[in-house]
């Protein structure tokens, strides 16, 4: 079974600074997808970024980028120029290429201070 | 294009009552997934449905829980004889196809069992 581990229950960052959220996963598959979802206080799950394992290039979406290290099974999320609206729970998720169920980590609560 | 719709957003039930949660996928999406989020936890996969078919219900408790996605109308997650341990947020997600498709989440239904 695939497991996703987020070792940081809480993180804090000042506005305009950069923060990195860590995620590791365990799998014997070679082809899979990784995701970061954001859950603000409204509790809505919002897709932040997605990475296909076969792609060596790290995915980027505006201020959000990932550091995907396939050999190390690591998938960290970097948020640049942090904004107050980035405050939320962030969940890392894994999905096999041939599967459909997303496996989520327990989440990291990000606090953004002025 | 409207997003995934879920209703009700909040549901309060007494022990022993039935809970019905509804999910309307995004337009053009024929695949629906239900997840449950217990307090302080990540989301856990429950069931995957296509129109009129349950594809995988391996994450759903064997008793009291059922799901359907009829040809017409929303997908329904039904919990009979609710217990306090059923209190959680229930999220529905949809995708147009299974493989290589991102799942888009609804706002969730918060179920509270008194």
- What is B28-89 written as a DSSP string? T--EEEEEEE-TTS-EEEEEEEETTEEEE-TTS-SSSEEEE--SSS-EEEEE-S--GGG-EE
pLDDT of residue A42: 84
Greater confidence (A42 vs A21) lies with A21
Chain B closest-CA separation from residue A97 CA (Å): 7
Q: Give the SS3 label for residue A25.
A: strand
The SS3 assignment for B6 reads strand
- Dig out the tokens for B7 from the structure: 């209703």
Which of A83-87, B11-15, B36-40 is the least confident region? B36-40
Q: What's the CA dihedral at B108, A79, A111, B102 to 10 degrees?
A: 10
Token pair listed for B22:
């509804």
Interface probe, candidates B25, B103, B108, B110, chain A, greatest A C-beta count within 10 A: B103
Cα dist from B85 to A25, A94, A104, B20, B82, whole Å: 28, 26, 20, 16, 8
What would the pLDDT profile of B89-114 be if each residue is shown by its tens digit?
999 999 887 655 788 999 999 999 99
pLDDT at A32 over 70: yes
Compute CA distances B19 → A43, A77, B7, B60, whole Å.
20, 37, 11, 15
pLDDT at A44 over 90: no
A-B Cβ pairs (cutoff 8 Å, strict) = 55
- What SS3 state is found at B105? strand
CB–CB contact B107 A35 (8 Å):
no
Average pLDDT of the residues in B49-59: 92
**Distances A111 to A40, A84, A87, B43 between C-alpha atoms, Å:** 11, 8, 5, 21
User: In this complex, do B89 and A43 lie within 8 Å of one another by their Cβ atoms?
Assistant: yes
Q: What is the dihedral of CA A109, A13, A46, B2, to 10 degrees?
A: 130
Q: For position A2, what pLDDT does the model report?
A: 67
What is the predicted pLDDT for the residue at B40? 80
As a whole-number percent, the residues of chain B with pLDDT over 70 amount to 96
Tell me the mean pLDDT in the region A33-41: 94
Instruction: State the Cα–Cα distance between residues A17 and B3, nearest whole angstrom.
Output: 32
Who has greater pLDDT, A91 or B42? A91
Q: Which of B40, B44, B48 is opposite residue A100, by nearest beta carbon? A: B48
**pLDDT tens, A45-100?**
899 999 999 988 999 999 999 999 999 999 999 999 999 999 999 999 999 888 88
What integer pLDDT is reported at residue A102 of this predicted model? Answer: 93
Residue B35 pLDDT > 90, yes or no? yes
Beta pairing partners, B112: B12
Mean pLDDT value across chain A: 93
pLDDT band of B28, cuts 50, 70, 90 = confident
pLDDT band at A1; cut points 50, 70, 90? low
């Amino acid at each position: 079974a695939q497991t996703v581990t987020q070792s940081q229950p809480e993180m804090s960052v000042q506005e305009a600074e950069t923060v990195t959220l860590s995620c590791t996963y365990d799998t014997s598959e070679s082809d899979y997808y990784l995701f970061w979802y954001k859950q603000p206080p409204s509790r809505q799950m919002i897709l932040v970024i997605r990475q296909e394992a076969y792609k060596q290039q790290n995915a980027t979406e505006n201020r959000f980028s990932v550091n995907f290290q396939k050999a190390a099974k690591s998938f960290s999320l970097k948020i640049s120029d942090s904004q107050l609206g980035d405050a939320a729970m962030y969940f890392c998720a894994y999905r096999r290429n041939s599967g459909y169920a997303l496996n989520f980590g327990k989440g990291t609560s990000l606090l953004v201070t002025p | 294009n409207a997003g995934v719709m879920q209703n009700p957003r909040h549901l309060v039930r007494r022990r022993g009552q039935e809970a019905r949660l509804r999910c309307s996928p995004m337009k053009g999406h024929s695949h629906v997934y239900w997840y449950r989020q217990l307090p302080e936890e990540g989301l856990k996969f429950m069931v995957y449905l296509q129109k009129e078919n349950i594809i995988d219900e391996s994450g759903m408790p064997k008793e009291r829980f059922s799901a359907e996605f009829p040809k017409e109308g929303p997908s329904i997650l039904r919990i009979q004889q609710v217990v306090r341990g059923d209190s959680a947020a229930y999220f529905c997600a949809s995708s147009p196809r299974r493989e290589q498709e991102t799942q888009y989440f609804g706002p969730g239904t918060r179920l509270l069992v008194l």
